[in-house]
């Protein structure tokens, strides 16, 4: 998707923020596409946000493909990015095989976590003509619950700058910076030609990404890095309880929710029922 890659570069050059949002199902994909989200991400956050897993490391290729196909059906315009899940890109061969599966399932490009240790894998994908989005900083697949904010010390900050530059040289089309300190994100953003997309990394990135369940307010809590734009959890809880009460108290369904049989058929049916008693 060279046209889209160029569009994101142009957006960076023009100082126009790129909007990325995660998505895991068809109806939300339709809403995101219609709302003008630039990049829809089928992230491995599907594991903890939708599938009830304890960690992103439990997400499989099968999980991503299942959700990706649903999201693809709802997208007409946006760029569709999919995560390569944990341990699906340990070698260039693994990465190529699994990226091909994601592209066949409808992805326009793939995202993978890691810095300099992933350069060989990124190069192999880029040489095959596959769009790759990098992801550095807090990388849930490898860091898990270890540490959160990245780039507080000089050594870690410099490591992140070097990783970002190495990933750009290897050909990534864009780079997610997760939980990177604001000044370090700014420095990386200024140094790179390709766009940076931040999550919990401050205001100076070329774009932002959030997890859709946080945006909609489906999570029980709101993290400092996210913003809740709706209260779906409360609305859904109320709707489910009302439905339960309506059925329990015989308020739903009513005749208005049912379908009548034809009058003549009903007459004959009642006669047959009476005769067969
Ligand atoms: O899986 C995901 O949702 C992500 C974003 C946090 C960038 O990787």
Task: Indicate which residue's Cα is closest to atom 5 of ligand 1.
Answer: 43
Angle separating helix axes 119-127 and 92-104, nearest 10 degrees:
50
Is 206 in the same domain as 253? no
For the chain, the three-class secondary structure string (H helix, E strand, C coil) is CHHHHHHHHHHHHHCCCEEEEECCCHHHHHHHHHHCCCEEEECCCHHHHCCCCCCHHHCCHHHHHHHHHHHHHHCCCCEEEEECCCCCCCCHHHHHHHHHHHHHCCCCEEECCECHHHHHHHHHHHHCCCEEEEEEECCHHHHCCCCCCECCCHHHHHHHHHHHHHHHHHCCCEEEEECECHHHHHHHHHHCCCCEEEECCCCCCCEEEECHHHHHCCCCCCCCCCCCCCCHHHHHHHHHHHHHHHHHCCCCCCHHHCCCCCHHHHHHHHHHHHHCC
Is 103 in the same domain as 136? yes
Residue 45 Cα, ligand 1 centroid: separation in angstroms? 6
Q: Is the pLDDT of residue 2 over 70?
A: no
Residue 56 Cα, ligand 1 centroid: separation in angstroms? 10
For position 144, what pLDDT does the model report?
Answer: 74
Kindly state if the Cβ of 49 falls inside 6 Å of ligand 1.
no
Number of domains in the chain: 2
Residue 216 belongs to domain with CATH number = 3.20.20.60
Residue 263 Cα, ligand 1 centroid: separation in angstroms? 58
Kindly state if the Cβ of 211 falls inside 6 Å of ligand 1.
yes
Is 176 in the same domain as 252? no
Kindly state if the Cβ of 196 falls inside 6 Å of ligand 1.
no
Q: Supply φ then ψ for residue 80, to 5 degrees.
A: -110, 115
Residue 46 Cα, ligand 1 centroid: separation in angstroms? 9
Task: Indicate which residue's Cα is closest to atom 1 of ligand 1.
Answer: 43
What does DSSP say about strands 207-210 and 196-199: parallel, antiparallel, or unpaired?
Answer: parallel
Residues 104-127 have pLDDT tens digits of 999 999 999 999 999 999 999 999
Measured CA to CA in angstroms, residue 155 lies from 53, 165, 270, 271 at distances of 33, 16, 85, 88
Is 130 in the same domain as 159? yes
Residue 140 Cα, ligand 1 centroid: separation in angstroms? 9
Residues 218-233 have pLDDT tens digits of 987 788 999 999 999 9
Is 193 in the same domain as 245? no
**How does residue 5 score in pLDDT terms, banded at 50, 70 and 90?**
confident
**Where a domain ends, among 210, 230, 250?**
230
Is 173 in the same domain as 148? yes
For position 71, what pLDDT does the model report?
Answer: 98
Residues near 28 by beta carbon (within 8 Å), at least 6 away in sequence? 71, 74, 212
Burial-class residue 227 by CB neighbours within 10 Å (0-12, 13-18, 19+): exposed
Q: Report the predicted TM-score, pTM, of the whole model to 2 decimal places.
A: 0.94
Q: Is the pLDDT of residue 277 over 90?
A: no
Task: Indicate which residue's Cα is closest to atom 4 of ligand 1.
Answer: 43
For position 1, what pLDDT does the model report?
Answer: 62
Residues 120-158 have pLDDT tens digits of 999 999 999 999 999 999 999 988 766 689 999 999 999
Is 250 in the same domain as 152? no
Is 223 in the same domain as 249? no
Domain that holds residue 271: 235-275
Is 164 in the same domain as 269? no
Kindly state if the Cβ of 28 falls inside 6 Å of ligand 1.
no
Kindly state if the Cβ of 103 falls inside 6 Å of ligand 1.
no
Residues 14-45 have pLDDT tens digits of 999 999 999 999 999 999 999 999 999 999 99
Kindly state if the Cβ of 22 falls inside 6 Å of ligand 1.
yes
Residues 232-256 have pLDDT tens digits of 999 999 999 999 999 999 999 999 9
Residue of 203, 237, 226, 215 whose CA lies nearest to 32 = 215
Is 146 in the same domain as 252? no
For position 220, what pLDDT does the model report?
Answer: 77
Residues 41-99 have pLDDT tens digits of 999 999 999 999 999 999 999 999 999 999 999 999 999 999 999 999 999 999 999 99
**Where a domain ends, among 209, 230, 251?**
230
Angle separating helix axes 119-127 and 154-170, nearest 10 degrees:
20
Q: Which of 199, 207, 219 for a ligand 1 pocket mutation test, highest count of atoms within 8 Å of Cβ?
A: 199
Question: What proportion of the chain, given as a percentage, has pLDDT over 70?
Answer: 98
For position 219, what pLDDT does the model report?
Answer: 83
* Position with higher pLDDT, 208 vs 5: 208
Which active-site residues does the annotation give? 178
Is 215 in the same domain as 251? no
Is 200 in the same domain as 259? no
């Amino acid at each position: 998707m060279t046209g889209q890659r160029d569009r994101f570069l142009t957006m960076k050059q023009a100082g126009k923020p790129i909007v990325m949002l995660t998505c895991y199902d068809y109806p939300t994909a339709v809403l995101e596409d219609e709302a003008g989200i630039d990049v829809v991400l089928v992230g491995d956050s599907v594991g903890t946000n939708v599938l009830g897993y304890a960690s992103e490391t439990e997400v499989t290729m099968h999980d991503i493909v299942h959700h990706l196909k649903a999201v693809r059906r709802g997208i007409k315009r946006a760029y569709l990015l999919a995560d390569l899940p944990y341990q699906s890109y340990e070698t260039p061969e693994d990465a190529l095989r699994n990226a091909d599966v994601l592209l066949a399932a409808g992805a326009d490009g793939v995202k993978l976590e890691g810095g300099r240790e992933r350069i060989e894998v990124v190069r192999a994908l880029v040489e095959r003509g596959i769009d790759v989005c990098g992801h550095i900083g807090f990388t849930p697949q490898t860091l898990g619950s270890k540490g959160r904010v990245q780039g507080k010390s000089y050594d870690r900050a410099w490591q992140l700058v070097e990783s970002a530059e190495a990933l750009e040289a290897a050909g990534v089309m864009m780079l997610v910076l997760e939980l990177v300190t604001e000044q370090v994100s700014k420095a990386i953003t200024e140094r790179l030609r390709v766009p940076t997309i931040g999550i919990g990394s401050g205001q100076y990135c070329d774009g932002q990404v959030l997890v859709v369940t946080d945006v909609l307010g489906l999570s029980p809590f709101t993290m400092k890095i996210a913003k809740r734009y709706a209260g779906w959890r409360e609305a859904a809880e109320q709707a489910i309880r009302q439905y339960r009460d309506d059925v329990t108290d015989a308020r739903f369904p009513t005749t208005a929710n049912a379908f009548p049989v034809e009058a003549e058929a009903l007459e004959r049916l009642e006669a047959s029922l009476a005769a067969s008693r």
